[in-house]
Amino acid sequence: MAGITSPGPVREPDLEDTKERRRSMDLRAPWRRRELIALLGAAGAGPALAQFRVEVTGVGLTQLPIAIVPFRGEAALPQKIASIVQADLERSGQFRGIDAAGSPELDETSRPDLSPWRQKAADSLAVGSVTRLADGRYDVRYRLWDVVKGEDRGGQSFVVPALDLRLAAHHIADAIYEKLTGDKGIFSTRIAYVTKAGTRYNLWVADADGENAQSALASPEPIISPAWSASGTQLAYVSFESRKPVVYVHEIASGKRRLIANFRGSNSAPAWAPDGRTLAVTLTREGGSQIYTIPAAGGEPRRITQSGSIDTEPIYSADGRSIYFVSDRGGSPQIYRMSASGGDPQRVTFTGTYNISPALSPDGRWLAYISRIGGAFKLQVMELATGTVQSVTDTTADESPSFAPNGRLIIYATRQGGAEALMTTTLDGKIKARLPGRGGDIREPDWGPFRR
């Protein structure tokens, strides 16, 4: 995208810098004019999904107490910035919201009296404002206070069109999260997933909190295995619309898509190499399910597994040098690792007789996968350096795990109370959030990358 951003977090003018004070940063990359899309998204079929709901199951967690005062000017708007920020931070499980009711009106220019906040046991206080500009856009500003030390932790300004007010709130949540935990936030990232309502399948792109779902694809036949490219602009997926599984690469913003694997037999399990130039896929063109690499632009595939067994579900490591995959060459499905160009695989899972659906944390330290244990399908998290495995859910029909780009959360599909739902969990299983499917079934989540 020409002339847009630098890699990494977008730098905002600090409000303390008087030279910058009058200039608002207009972030052209993540903020897009979405009037058309809002219309199309709203008009499209499909469930308007509620937000993820947090369920905290661990005890004795360290949660940072933070108070977020309603932003000056938000009362008149449909998007309550402070609530969105608070919901984001609480959903991470690492923050506990302190009740801000009864607070005097504060904004980013205030010098607040911090003693009442100390009394409420808040460690941090966030304040801000939303101001409508002459051209119809909004200037959303915040400032973070360290209540304990009595220090100003700085703030930022975001100028956005009305349709991107939620996104501005998510960026504020990301910024606060990063200031206080040292980790990058994922609140402004997106997820993809599939819903099924009767005979209608939709591939959705939504915000990480479940809001703002827009349909990328509607089909009378199944859609499975959506996979985000590292750029966040494309989704690969398997579609059965031509009555056999084939793999598309789909540019989300334009709807343009390319059929990259329609070889004889079944084509499935797309996985992007980190550089976006290659995908690994499972093809059956030579008989049996084997893994091939293929250029993202389409072209001749190159076979990289050589077995008479099922080899499938490839995923790349973050450095692009290894591929983890599922193989039943040992008699039942287990997870293996091999060089991305093919070669002798090493077995990675040794517990149990059925281990599938590998997902790798971006730092390469953790492997999430699904294990069949006594008939139940359960999400497992393995620390690769030690091989220690932990079961992190109490549900029995878990599927399709995917890591958030900061490596702190895993999204997966499961069944609860007879209905399909998406869940997120921290790696230790202690904090979960649930997004129920409305009416229809919901499955096949994939977490998108950091937004550029």
Partner 1 sequence: MIKRVFLALACAAALAGCASGVKLDDVPVEDKQSTAVTTPPSGTATPSTADASRVAPVDATRGSTEAAGPTGVARIVYFDYDSNVIKPEFQALIEQHARFLKANGARHVVVEGHTDERGGREYNLALGQRRSEAVRRALELLGVKDSQVEAVSFGKEKPAVPGSDETAWAQNRRAEIAYR
C-alpha–C-alpha distance, residues 373 and 396, integer Å: 9
The DSSP string of 193-209 is EEEEETTEEEEEEEETT
Q: How far is the CB of 113 from partner 1 (least distance, A)?
A: 39
For position 21 contacting partner 1 by CB under 8 A, the verdict is: no
Determine the angle formed by the axes of helices 81-91 and 165-181, rounding to 10 degrees: 50
Structure token pair of residue 17: 């810098």
Which residues pair with residue 191 across a beta bridge? Answer: 206, 447
Each residue 331-350 as x (binds partner 1 by CB under 8 A) or -, in order, gives --x-----------------
Work out whether strand 311-316 and strand 322-327 pair parallel, antiparallel, or are unpaired. Answer: antiparallel
Q: 435 near 391, Cβ under 8 Å? A: no
C-alpha–C-alpha distance, residues 393 and 229, integer Å: 28
Please give the residues from 77 up to 106 whose contact with partner 1 meets the rule CB under 8 A: none
C-alpha–C-alpha distance, residues 314 and 418, integer Å: 30
Q: 352 near 330, Cβ under 8 Å? A: no
Q: Which is nearer to partner 1, 116 or 298 (CB)?
A: 298
For position 321 contacting partner 1 by CB under 8 A, the verdict is: no
Interface region with partner 1, contact rule CB under 8 A, candidates 10-18, 140-148, 249-257, 380-388: 249-257
Size of the residue set binding partner 1 (CB under 8 A): 87
Structure token pair of residue 388: 């220690």
Give the one residue of 217, 421, 423, 435 binding partner 1; rule: CB under 8 A: 217
Backbone angles phi, psi at 38, to 5 degrees: -60, -40
Torsion of CA 256, 197, 228, 210, to 10 degrees: 120
Q: How far is the CB of 70 from partner 1 (least distance, A)?
A: 25
Give the one residue of 30, 128, 185, 445 binding partner 1; rule: CB under 8 A: 30
Q: Which is nearer to partner 1, 133 or 253 (CB)?
A: 253
Interface region with partner 1, contact rule CB under 8 A, candidates 9-17, 48-56, 117-125, 225-233: 225-233
Q: 377 near 399, Cβ under 8 Å? A: yes
Q: How far is the CB of 443 from partner 1 (least distance, A)?
A: 8
**DSSP category for residue 58:** -
**DSSP category for residue 72:** B
Q: How far is the CB of 66 from partner 1 (least distance, A)?
A: 27
Q: How far is the CB of 75 from partner 1 (least distance, A)?
A: 26
Q: Which is nearer to partner 1, 102 or 287 (CB)?
A: 287
Q: How far is the CB of 92 from partner 1 (least distance, A)?
A: 22
Give the one residue of 242, 306, 341, 390 binding partner 1; rule: CB under 8 A: 242
Q: Which is nearer to partner 1, 144 or 338 (CB)?
A: 338
One-letter identity of residue 374: G
Q: Which is nearer to partner 1, 100 or 283 (CB)?
A: 283
From the list 241, 216, 309, 234, the residue with the least C-alpha distance to 271 is 234
C-alpha–C-alpha distance, residues 379 and 391, integer Å: 6
Give the one residue of 32, 277, 321, 347 binding partner 1; rule: CB under 8 A: 32
Q: 214 near 206, Cβ under 8 Å? A: yes
For position 164 contacting partner 1 by CB under 8 A, the verdict is: yes
Work out whether strand 302-303 and strand 223-228 pair parallel, antiparallel, or are unpaired. Answer: unpaired
For position 7 contacting partner 1 by CB under 8 A, the verdict is: no
In the chain, the largest separation of any two C-alpha atoms, in whole Å, equals 72
Please give the residues from 176 up to 215 whose contact with partner 1 meets the rule CB under 8 A: 190, 199, 205, 214-215
Q: How far is the CB of 106 from partner 1 (least distance, A)?
A: 30
Please give the residues from 347 up to 366 whose contact with partner 1 meets the rule CB under 8 A: 354, 356-357
Q: Which is nearer to partner 1, 89 or 370 (CB)?
A: 370
Give the one residue of 13, 154, 265, 342 binding partner 1; rule: CB under 8 A: 265
**DSSP category for residue 245:** -
Please give the residues from 370 up to 409 whose contact with partner 1 meets the rule CB under 8 A: 370, 372, 375, 377, 399-400
For position 162 contacting partner 1 by CB under 8 A, the verdict is: no
For position 277 contacting partner 1 by CB under 8 A, the verdict is: no
Q: 122 near 101, Cβ under 8 Å? A: no
Q: Which is nearer to partner 1, 60 or 287 (CB)?
A: 287
Q: 230 near 254, Cβ under 8 Å? A: no
Q: Which is nearer to partner 1, 121 or 218 (CB)?
A: 218
For position 227 contacting partner 1 by CB under 8 A, the verdict is: no
Please give the residues from 103 up to 142 whose contact with partner 1 meets the rule CB under 8 A: none
Question: Could you tell me the CA-to-CA distances from 349 to 336, 366, 387 in Å, in that order?
Answer: 7, 12, 8
